[in-house]
């Protein structure tokens, strides 16, 4: 399966965008921690929890969209 056929479906594209956003978020925090650009402590926990709750709702809403009939 070529990459164009993989992204023919809107749902697969939405999943790919969600995974990409999560990778950018996690890699940004990792780079910040490794390079000592900011203080990484427990103040970051609410931000991470909120972000992953948002992404959870995002993936649930994309999954529910597959249940809708085609128009």
Query: According to the 3-state scheme, what is the secondary structure of 2-71?
Result: CHHHHCCCHHHHHHHHHHHHHHHHHHHHHHHHHCCCCCCCHHHHHHHHHHHHHHHHHHHHHHHHCCCCCC
Output the pTM of the full model. Answer: 0.76
- Count of alpha carbons within 13 Å of 5, Cβ hemisphere only? 2
Q: pLDDT tens per residue, the chain (71 residues)?
A: 566 666 567 888 899 999 999 999 999 999 988 888 877 788 888 999 999 999 999 999 998 988 877 66
What are 41's two structure tokens? 């402590």
Helix (H/G/I), strand (E/B), else coil: 1: coil
Q: What is the pLDDT of residue 6?
A: 60
């Amino acid at each position: 399966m070529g990459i164009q056929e993989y992204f023919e479906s809107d749902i697969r594209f939405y999943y790919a965008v969600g995974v990409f956003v999560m990778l950018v978020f996690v890699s940004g925090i990792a780079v910040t921690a490794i390079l000592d650009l900011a203080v990484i402590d427990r103040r970051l926990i609410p931000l991470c929890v909120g972000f992953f709750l948002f992404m959870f709702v995002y993936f649930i809403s994309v999954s529910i969209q597959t249940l809708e009939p085609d128009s």
